[in-house]
Structure 1
C-alpha cells in the first residue's frame, strides 16, 4: 500500500511499516522499534525507511543520537516525552452527515464534560444532548498535550489523541455513537503554534519555524516550507478521514502568517470528495469576509466575537480591555450585529483610532457562529466567571432565547443549557520552572486580581459543570424544538434580501430577516417594558422576547 500521509509511521503491508520525518538539519535518523533499528534514508530533507513491525509495538525516532517520540505520532504510550505506538486505524462507519443550516453547536472540554473525563464516558452523555436538540458537538483540542489536564491549545503531537481521554479507537467510537444519534462532531485544531513542553518537532527540525516572525505564543510556523504545509493539511484530512469527523474549527487563524494557506487548506479538504458534508469554521480576529463568502465555498462559519461582546457589555456593563469599543452603545452594536453579523466592519470605533474588519452584510447569516459564552470569553477572565454570575438572570434567559432563535449558527458552552454558574478558568498540568512561569504569567495578565493556582488540580475540578436546573433545561429544549421545527426550514430556504433592525428603546429592538420561504421577526427587550405577543414568546421579569413567522 502507498503511504496515505507524508509524516509519521504507517503500515504499508502486513508486517511492514514505513517511517517518515522531515528534518533538513538531521544527518542520521533511525526508527527504533522495540529495540530493533530501522535506518531511514535521507533525500531532500526527508528521512524515510521501511522495516518489519506490528501494530501496538512501541517506537522512537533516533535523530542524530537523540531518541524522541515521533512528531507525527498517532498514539503515545504515555506522556509527550514517551514512546510512540504503531497504530492501524479502523475505517469509521459511513453516515450521511447534516447540512450546516441545521447546526446547533455544543462546545465541550472532554476532560471536564463528565466525571470520567474520557471519550467513553462522554459517549454515554450523548443521548442527553440529542434529546435536548443539540445537533453538533465541538470538542476542544485533543492533540496530545503535556500532563493530564489542560485546555489543549498547548498541544505538541498533533496526530495523537490525548491518551488521558482514551485511545484513538475510543475517539472513533465516540464519533460513531454521536452519528447514531444524529449529532455531528467538530474538532478544534491549533495550527498557529505548538506548546512549550514536548515540542520535539522544533528540537529536531528548526526549519519548521520562522524565527523572524512571532505569535503571542512564540516563534511563528514556517508555512513557506511545503513539508510544513503538508503536515497541517494532512493533519486536517487525517482527523476527518480516519475518525469520521464532520468538521474542524481552526483556532486563531489570524496568527497563521501566510495569506494563501487557509485557501489551500480548504481546497485540499474539499478535493478529498467526502461523501458527507464537511464543515470548516475559523476563529479570526481580523473580521475578514473572503474565506466565508458563498462564492468561494471555502469555510462555512466564523466565530463571531462581536456578537458576544455587545451582549456581554449590554448585560454586565463591563467596558475594560477589548470591551472598550463596545461600551459606548452596546444595544446599537447588537442591532448592527443582528443585521450584518460583524459589528466592527472597518469603521473607527473609539477608543480605537483605526478600523478593524470588512463589511459583512452580504454574508449568509449561518456563516456567523454566535455565542453568549465560550471557553475563551469565560476562561480568559481572572476568575473565569460564567455569564449568570455576572448579569441579571432574567436578561441572560432572554439573551439565551435570542441566541437560539435567530438565523445565525448558535453555539452553547457546556453547562450553559442547564444554567451553569461554576467558573471555567485557565488550568494546566506543568511542572517545575514552566509551572512557575505559568503562574507568573497569569499574575501579570491580571494585576491586582486574586485567582486560583492554574496548576492546582482543585482549580481544574472546580471548573467541572454540574448544574442541572430543570427550568433552564426545559427552556433550552423548548427553544431548540421551535428552532428545529420552524426556523431551520426558513434558513434552509435561503435568504431573500437584506435584514432590517429597528431600535425601539434604549435596550430593545425588532429584527426582521427575509427568506425565500417566509420572514422571521424577533422583538427583544432587555428591560424597556416593550413586550409584545407573538407566535413564540418568553417573558422574564422586565425582559422579554417575541417571535413571528410570516409565510
Structure 2
C-alpha cells in the first residue's frame, strides 16, 4: 500500500518518536515562543533572517500557538488543522494516519473532464458529498470541483474569506474525513479539484500583518483586501507549497487558482506550474486551472491545463436574458458574434479594448486546443454575485436554456455545471458568511451598497430586501432543494443531463485528442452553425437557435441529438439545438 507525505517548509512537521518540528517566519518579531497546551512555553531559535524554529516533544493531537511581538498568541499560518476555528489553537496532524484505499490512482486525462462545482457546506460536509458520489458518477460527471475549504471566520462562508490556507474548515469535517471523500471519489473514477485563493486574506483571523508585514504589498491592494507580496521568497514558497500540499498530501487531482489576475507577480504563476510538474509522480494527471480576467493565453500555452471561460458565459447570458449592465456591457453589442468567436477561438477578448474597464484585455487564443477553455452557464460567482442569487431558469425561457445546456454538454469545450443544475434547480444561491458585530454590519451594508449603481436598486427600500449575508437563513435558503428532483420538471432535466452526457461520452470525448474549429456561420441573432474537426477524421456540427425566429438550413448527416425532437427536415425551429457527427474525407 502506497503512502503519501509532503513536507512543508513552515508549520508543524512530525518527526516520529514523539517529536515535532515547528517553523514560523516572523521577520517583525525579535523573539517567538512556542506554546503547547499542557507544556511550558519554549523559546524558538532565530536564524536572524526572520525564521524561527524548534523541535518539541509532542505528537499528533497536540494543540499549539506561537507567541509573537507584544505577547500576542497566534495560530500557525501553515496549520493543518484548526479544531476551534481561526481564532483558536492549531493542532498537530499526522499526515500518515489515513490509509489510502485507492493509492494507485493516477487521475484522468483532461479531455475526459465533465466538471461539477459544489459548495461543501451546503451539501452536508464531506460525508454528505460522499452520499452523492454514486449518483454523480452514474449521471456522467467525471470531475468534482470544491469551492474553497480553507479555514475562515465563523462556521459558514463561500470560502474566499479564508485566512489559514492549509487548514480545512472544521465545520465540513476533519482532515481524515476529507481524505476519505477524495478516496471515495477516486474509487468511482471521479477526479477532485480544489478552488484555492492566493490573492488576499479574509477579514477575520489574519494575524500575519502583526509579525510578518513583509507578506503584503500595500501598494497593490485588490478589491478583496491587502495585496500579497509575491516578490518575497518566503511568500512565493508559502503558496506554492500550499498547492503542492493539497495535490500531494490530500491527493487532489488539481487546483483552480482564483482571480489569478489579482496576483501581482505573474512570474510566480509560472514557477508554480514548474514546481508542480517536477514534484508529482510520473504518469499522474494533475490539472492546474485558472480564473483569469486577463485572458492570458500565454499561460495556457505554457502548461496550464485550462481557464474558466467567462467570455463564453457572458455572451450566452446576454443572449438568454438580455441583461447588459455591469460587465455584461462588454458583450451587449453583438453577443451572437461573441458566441461564435468563443466556439471557434476560445476567448472573445484577445487584446481589444474592454468598454467596461477602458483597458485592452486578453491576447490571441485561436491556436489553443478548445479543451483549454471551460464553458459554463452557471457557477457560484455568476449566481451568487447577483443581489437575489437567481439561477438561470428564473431569468430566461426554459426552452432556450435547454438548447444552451445541450451546447454546453456537447461542444468540444470542457463543460462545467453548478450543483443542482442537473435537475433544473431553481433554489437561489446567495452570498453568505458568518461574521459578527461591527464587521458583520459592515459586510451587510457593503453588499447593499454594491448594487446601488443598478437602476432597480436606486431605492434604499429595495436594497433593504437584499438578504443579509450573515443571517443563518441566507445560508439555509441557498441549499439546493432536492425535492425538485422528484417533480416532473426535475425528472425531465435529469433525463436530459444523463442523455447528453452519455452522448458526450460516446461521440465527443473519444475524439477530443484533437479538436479544431472548422468554421462558425452566423444564421441570425442568436442562431449559429458551428463545426469542428475532431480526432479520427470526425466532423462535429452543432446548430443552435436562441431566438424566436425559424431558419431554413441544409440538413446535416449523422444526427445524434436534437431539441426539440426533429420534425421538420431542413428547418431549425425557435429555441432549438441540433448536433451531428460525420466522418470526413
| Structure 2 unaligned residues grouped into runs of 5+ | 458-462, 566-572
Give the match for residue 460 of structure 2.
none
Per-residue CA deviations over 1:110-153 (Å, capped at 9, x if unaligned) read 0112xxx2111211111110000000000000000010111000
> Which of residues 529, 532, 548 in structure 1 aligns to 2:550?
529
Aligned residues: 542
CA RMSD of aligned residues (A): 1.6
Matched, 1:144 2:151: yes
Mapping for residues 282-293 of structure 1, pairs under 5 Å: 282-293=290-301
Q: Is the CA contact 2:389–2:431 (under 8 Å) kept in the aligned structure 1? A: yes
> For residues 225-374 of structure 1, what are the structure 2 equivalents within 5 Å?
225-275=232-282, 276-293=284-301, 296=302, 298-348=303-353, 350=355, 354-374=359-379
8 A contact 2:33–2:67 mirrored in 1: yes
> What does residue 379 of structure 1 align with?
384
8 Å contact from structure 2 (residues 152, 163) kept in 1: yes
Partner of 2:569: none
- Select between 337-346 and 368-377 the one with higher mean Cα deviation: 337-346
Task: Confirm whether residue 202 of structure 1 aligns to residue 215 of structure 2.
Answer: no
Q: Give runs of aligned pairs for residues 384-395 of structure 1, distance below 5 A.
A: 384-395=389-400
Task: State the distance in 1 between where 2:247 and 2:355 align.
Answer: 42
User: How far apart in 1 are the matches of 2:518 and 2:317?
Assistant: 23
1:112 and 1:353 map into 2 onto residues whose CA distance is 38
Matches of 2:356 and 2:272, distance apart in 1: 36
CA contact (8 A) 1:346 1:357 kept: yes
Q: Does 1:5 align with 2:24?
A: no
Query: Does the aligned pair in 1 maintain the 2:113–2:143 contact within 8 Å?
Result: yes
Q: CA deviation at 1:363?
A: 0.8
Q: What is aligned with 2:160? A: 153
2:184 corresponds to which residue? 177
1:501 to 520, 529, 533: 520
2:201, 2:226 within 8 Å by CA — same for their partners in 1?
no
- What is the TM-score of this pair, normalised by structure 1? 0.96
Whole-Å Cα distance in 1 between the matches of residues 353 and 151 of structure 2?
41
1:219 — aligned with what?
A: 226
Cα gap change, 1:484 to 1:209, in 2 (>3 Å): same
Q: 1:68 aligns with which of 74, 80, 97?
A: 74
Q: Which structure 2 residues correspond to residues 457-472 of structure 1 after superposition, within 5 A? A: 457-466=472-481, 467-468=484-485, 469-472=490-493
**Which residue number corresponds to residue 570 of structure 2?**
none
Inter-partner Cα distance in structure 2 for 1:251 and 1:522: 32
- Alpha-carbon distance change, 71 to 352 in structure 1, aligned in 2, over 3 angstroms: closer
Unpaired segments ≥5 residues, structure 1: none
Q: Is 1:538 matched with 2:558?
A: no
Question: Of 18, 32, 43, which aligns to 2:21?
Answer: 18
Distance in 2 (CA, whole Å) between partners of 1:244 and 1:80 is 24
Distance 1:291 1:472 in 2: 36
Question: Does 2:522 correspond to 1:514?
Answer: no
* Structure 1 residues 486 and 156: CA distance shift in structure 2, 3 A: same
Q: Confirm or deny: 8 A CA contact 1:336 1:343 kept in the other structure.
A: yes
Residue 550 of structure 1 is matched in structure 2 by 582
Q: Which segment drifts farther, 244-253 or 536-545?
A: 536-545
Matches within 5 A, 1:11-90: 11-36=14-39, 37-43=41-47, 44-64=49-69, 65-90=71-96
Alpha-carbon displacement from aligned partner over 1:62-98 (angstroms, at most 9, x marks no partner):
1132111111110012111001111011364230210
Query: Whole-Å Cα distance in 1 between the matches of residues 391 and 74 of structure 2?
Result: 41
Task: Rate the CA distance shift 1:350–1:189 in 2: closer, same or farther, 3 A.
Answer: closer
Write the distance in 2 (CA, Å) between the matches of 1:535 and 1:240. 38
How far apart are residue 355 of structure 1 and its match? Answer: 2.9
What is the alpha-carbon distance in structure 2 between the residues aligned to residue 13 and residue 129 of structure 1? 40
* Worse-superposed segment, 400-409 or 266-275: 266-275
Is the contact made by 2:65 and 2:74 (CA closer than 8 Å) also made in structure 1? yes
Task: Give the 4+ runs in structure 1 shifted more than 6 A.
Answer: none
Contact in 2 for aligned 1:280/1:301 (Cα 8 Å): yes
The answer to which of 316-325 and 31-40 deviates more is 31-40
* Contact 2:327 2:356 survives alignment (8 Å): no
Q: Taking structure 1 as reference, are residues 140 and 350 closer, same or farther at Cα in structure 2, changes over 3 Å only?
A: closer
Between 345-354 and 400-409, report the one with greater CA deviation. 345-354
Aligned to 2:568: none
Shift of 1:465: 0.5
Distance in 1, matches of 2:357 and 2:169, equals: 41
